[in-house]
Amino acid sequence: MSDRSKLIPPSPDYADVYAKAKADGKPLPDDREWFNTSEPFDLFASWFAEAKAKEINDPNAVSVATVDESGMPDVRMVLLKDFDADGFVFYTNTQSAKGQQLEATGKAALCFHWKSLRRQVRIRGVVSHVTDAEADAYFASRAKDSQIGAWASIQSAPMEGRFEFEKRIAGYAAKYALGKVPRPEHWTGYRVAPEHIEFWRDRPFRLHDRLIFDKKPEGGWATSRLYP
């Protein structure tokens, strides 16, 4: 039996963060600083910038949770492609199980987990499409093979075998061998406009920090802290 400790490197703990900051001659993290903000998007931008600098793989990876028509929950990983004060954006096939569930309920939950920072951000909100101009611009920025894949994949539909998929890829590659590949009508972006955001940070002995932002009806955010 393999030694899992040799295969999976340990995550840095709270003490490691302080020790590294001290060794690098940087200011020690301020326990109180991040609780003083009233703007969750500014805090997210700060944490996301740190994640992009320190996460080994896909710092923009985020789980997207939905429910189907029976109320059964579903979850999968996607990549965040944009965010601003209007919400968090990812792209997908609207005919997939994910897309159909988003279309049916208009709601989703997101969770970012950055292991190297020992932090996570959870978001719940309402879902809308990005504009056609936004979707077209992002689709045009993708590699051509990825564009072909968006046409060839009948996402979430049963498939007899890989060869069937490869035939479809070859067919669309031939169809769009010359010129630009248009964006499929069934492929677009979803924007999750948050109504609830939680920032979680690891602390020793499971005595973690949890900071909550709840959107107020009149605008702005109400903040609170939760027991870990």
* Catalytic sites, residue numbers: 206
Say what angle helices 144-152 and 162-175 make with each other, to 10 degrees. 120
Nearest to 112 by CA among 60, 73, 164, 155: 60
Classified as helix, coil or strand, 170 is helix
C-alpha distance across the termini of the chain, in Å: 35
Q: In whole angstroms, what is the distance from residue 60 CA to residue 112 CA? A: 8
Residues 193/86, Cβ–Cβ less than 8 Å? yes
